[in-house]
Chain A
Amino acid sequence: MHIPDGMLDTKTFTTLWVGAAGGLGYAGHWIRKHFDQSKIVLMAVLAALIFGLQMLNFPIAGGTSGHFGGGALAGLLLGTWPGVVVMAAVLLVQALFFGDGGITTLGANIVNMGIIGALVAPFVYQLFQRVSSSSLSKILGAALGAFLAVVLSSAVVAIELWASGSAQFFAALTAMVSWHTLIGIGEAIITGGIIAYIVKVRPQILDDGEQTTKRSFRSVCVVLGALALLATGLSFLASSFPDGLEFVYFDMGVGTAAIPETTIVPALMPDYVLPGIANETLAGVAAGVIGAIVTGAFLWAVISVLARKRRQDDKRTEN
């Protein structure tokens, strides 16, 4: 699931970096506002634990194995935004020290596994809690949340690879989702097992996470929805099937075999490079910068609206 360097084109990884930075920036702001120092230390210890728990391997099929991810668990225990920061730290260490996931694609990995993981699991868990607050409902909610978080993340990875021109859409989507369905079952069993243990031994830990999730839930939905719309829009802005590596193949004399793809909307930046710039890479970078500016402006607008709404809510509560 960790996307390595070179698999995403400039436009896609820049856009996702801005999305991740926006999400992390907001998470930082949220934590400063709601968490005291002892909670931040707890986050740090949990980050170390989740990193350690990733050594838990489980069998999948054909002699292969998957390992525990932890994004869903982080979201369930700490709430969405603190969970995002914990996962960002884990992913940063994996990319920097272990070559697990790339540096240019770290933003994408934070969005895929951190933001989506820490959002989806608490959301599903909350839905189950609305139906019943029994122990079984808690365990099932957490397990299903963890499963869906893994599967949804894998689908988003497939979309990103397709938008970058690194993979054929349906092949990547089918393979990623079917494989991660199996990994998701392992993740669900371990997450459900952890929650079952906590429900028995110390249920107040879950209550803390629930309170945190309730406070941040609406803003997460809006920011993620906005990001998804924007990412989709940018993909089509370039072309229906953009290809960051096309120049490689034309360079080698094999690009002529490429099949012309059907364009759904006329491209403003054909092959996601800016017209008028001769160097392919520089044109790609310029397109990426434009993507970043548009994403940044969009995120800023969304967060400003949310912050204003929160101030209004706070004022109303005071009155």
Chain B
Amino acid sequence: MENSLSPQGKLLAALIAVLGIVLAAPHTPFTAGAVFALVILLAIIVQVPVFKLLLRSLVVVPVAGMISLFYPLRFVASWHAVGIAEAYVNHWQGMVALILTPWLCVLVMMLLVMSTEQADLIYALGRLRLPRALLLLLSFMYRYVDVMRAQLQAAHRSLLSRAPALGPYRRVLLYGNLAGSMLIRAYDRGERIHAAMLSRGYTGVLPRLHEQRIHVADIALIAVSMLFSIALIGYH
């Protein structure tokens, strides 16, 4: 299934599903469970490791959890310990709903990311008419971010090995120099890359190695995603 679907079809279906989840805000065990079950079922079909998917989706929980803490405070009748505690007791379901929606959305997006190559997703964004300059930036980030991270880690390692006794705040100051030297390298690299690209016939448009068109299976996936979203919204 993974190979028969185009990345733009999968991306579109995922975006529709996320929009449906946000608009419906599934909060009952039935609807939230239905979304969860569907994502897990799809993960099993496309052979994405379910535990890893669940683990990666948890990235949103601390942020959503922190924001949800502010929600019950809207309902505080008196700003004393008892009043505040009452608001939390009466509105804990709201806090759960505020965490549930983003978590289900991230679950959908992580399923997409874990079942599709990053390069294919960037290609899919191009097919969905993302502006050319933005696409170029994404392509470069995909190409160079690992190179730069490796360089940064090497520099960081040498900083730690040469100055192991530095306190955390002094180290933060040194990060500036470290990042600054990376920046100068990036400027030089940018010039070199551009010269190399021009010498290979770059005209401002990145070439596409292979075209992937939308097929019946993609349309079916998008339709299912759309119907599921409409059903969710209609149910609520």
Q: Which residues of A are at the interface with B, using a C-beta cutoff of 8 A?
A: 2-7, 10, 13, 24, 28, 31-32, 37-38, 40-49, 51-53, 55-56, 58-59, 68, 77, 85-86, 88-90, 92-93, 95-100, 102-104, 161, 165-168, 171-172, 175, 186, 189-198, 201-202, 205, 241, 243-245, 247-249, 251-252, 254, 257-259, 279-282, 284-285
From A28, A96, A171, give the contact of B73 (CB < 8 A): A171
Question: In the complex where A4-B105, A47-B140, A257-B91 touch, is A248 in contact with B133 (Cβ < 8 A)?
Answer: no
Q: Is the interface of A mostly helix, strand, loop or mixed?
A: helix
| Contact pattern, B 100-112, Cβ under 8 Å of A = 1, otherwise 0 | 1110011001100
From A38, A99, A190, A244, give the contact of B172 (CB < 8 A): A190
Nearest CB on B from A237, distance (A): 19
21 residue pairs from A and B, CB less than 8 Å apart: A4-B105, A31-B133, A44-B190, A45-B187, A47-B140, A48-B143, A59-B169, A59-B172, A93-B138, A97-B113, A102-B22, A102-B105, A103-B19, A161-B70, A168-B76, A190-B172, A194-B179, A197-B179, A197-B184, A245-B94, A254-B93
Residues of B within 8 A of A251 (CB): 27-28, 236
Please state if B140 and A193 are interface contacts (CB–CB under 8 Å): no
Query: Within B107-154, which residues are at the interface with A (CB < 8 Å)?
Result: 109-110, 113, 118, 121, 131, 133-134, 136-141, 143-145, 148-149, 152-153
Please state if A51 and B145 are interface contacts (CB–CB under 8 Å): yes
Q: Which residues of B are at the interface with A, using a C-beta cutoff of 8 A?
A: 15, 18-19, 21-25, 27-28, 56-57, 59-60, 63-64, 67-68, 70-71, 73-77, 90-91, 93-94, 97-98, 100-102, 105-106, 109-110, 113, 118, 121, 131, 133-134, 136-141, 143-145, 148-149, 152-153, 168-169, 172-177, 179-184, 186-187, 189-191, 193-194, 197, 202, 204, 233-234, 236
Please state if A48 and B148 are interface contacts (CB–CB under 8 Å): yes
Please state if B137 and A104 are interface contacts (CB–CB under 8 Å): no
Residues of B within 8 A of A43 (CB): 133, 137
Residues of A within 8 A of B191 (CB): 38, 42
Which of B18, B182, B186, B204 has the most C-beta atoms of chain A within 10 angstroms of its own C-beta? B186
Please state if A55 and B134 are interface contacts (CB–CB under 8 Å): no
Which of B77, B137, B189 has the most C-beta atoms of chain A within 10 angstroms of its own C-beta? B137
From B63, B67, B75, B101, give the contact of A259 (CB < 8 A): B75
Question: In the complex where A52-B152, A53-B152, A96-B109 touch, is A44 in contact with B172 (Cβ < 8 A)?
Answer: no
Please state if B184 and A49 are interface contacts (CB–CB under 8 Å): no
Question: In the complex where A45-B186, A85-B134 touch, is A257 in contact with B75 (Cβ < 8 A)?
Answer: yes
From B25, B181, B190, give the contact of A42 (CB < 8 A): B190
Nearest CB on A from B111, distance (A): 11
Known: A48-B148, A58-B172. 9 other contacts (CB 8 A): A5-B105, A44-B141, A99-B106, A102-B18, A102-B102, A103-B15, A104-B19, A186-B172, A195-B180
Residues of A within 8 A of B60 (CB): 4, 99
Please state if A197 and B180 are interface contacts (CB–CB under 8 Å): yes
Please state if A46 and B77 are interface contacts (CB–CB under 8 Å): no
Residues of A within 8 A of B184 (CB): 197-198, 201-202, 205
In the complex, A88→B137 CA distance in Å?
10
In the complex, A48→B19 CA distance in Å?
28
Residues of A within 8 A of B136 (CB): 40-41, 44
Residues of B within 8 A of A93 (CB): 138, 141
Please state if A42 and B141 are interface contacts (CB–CB under 8 Å): no
In the complex, A10→B148 CA distance in Å?
38
Residues of A within 8 A of B19 (CB): 103-104
In the complex, A254→B92 CA distance in Å?
10
Please state if B143 and A193 are interface contacts (CB–CB under 8 Å): no
Residues of A within 8 A of B98 (CB): 6-7, 166, 245
Please state if B138 and A196 are interface contacts (CB–CB under 8 Å): no
In the complex, A96→B112 CA distance in Å?
9
Please state if A167 and B22 are interface contacts (CB–CB under 8 Å): no
In the complex, A193→B177 CA distance in Å?
6
Nearest CB on B from A146, distance (A): 11
Residue of A nearest to B152 (CB): A52
